[in-house]
Structures are given as C-alpha cells and as structure tokens.
Amino acid sequence: MTVSDDGAPATPHPRHELDELLAHAVRFSVVAALSGLERAEFSLVRDTVQVSD
C-alpha cells in the first residue's frame, strides 16, 4: 500500500467503491449467503441471515 505525505493511504479502500445497495449489513449478508449458489429458496436465505419477511 502506498501512503501520502500525511500518512493517509494514497488510494481509497475498495469498499468505498461498493454500491450503496450493498453497503447495508443485511444486504451484504444476503449476497454472502448466495455466493457460490445457483439457486436458493427464499426461506433458506431468510433463516441463514436471521431476518423476518
């Protein structure tokens, strides 16, 4: 990582580039739960991320 003269990172962390839609913790959890799956039942995702519908 490169830093500027004041010690701050010269380039922003990639998370700052995330779409606001993905920034919410529950949405991020849903994306993580679906990672690697081709299909999933709604109830499985709901129960995995521990939310209600």
Q: Which tens digits make up the pLDDT trace of 4-53?
A: 667 666 777 777 777 777 678 888 899 999 999 999 999 999 999 999 98
Per-residue tokens: 47: 């129960």
Q: What are phi and psi of 17, to 5 degrees?
A: -90, -5
Residue labelled with tokens 């039942």 = 41
pLDDT class for 1, splitting at 50, 70, 90? low
**Helical H segments across 1-53, by residue range:** 20-23, 25-34, 42-48
- Cα(38)–Cα(29) distance, rounded to whole angstroms? 17
Domain ranges of the chain: 20-48
Q: Is residue 3 predicted with pLDDT exceeding 70? A: no
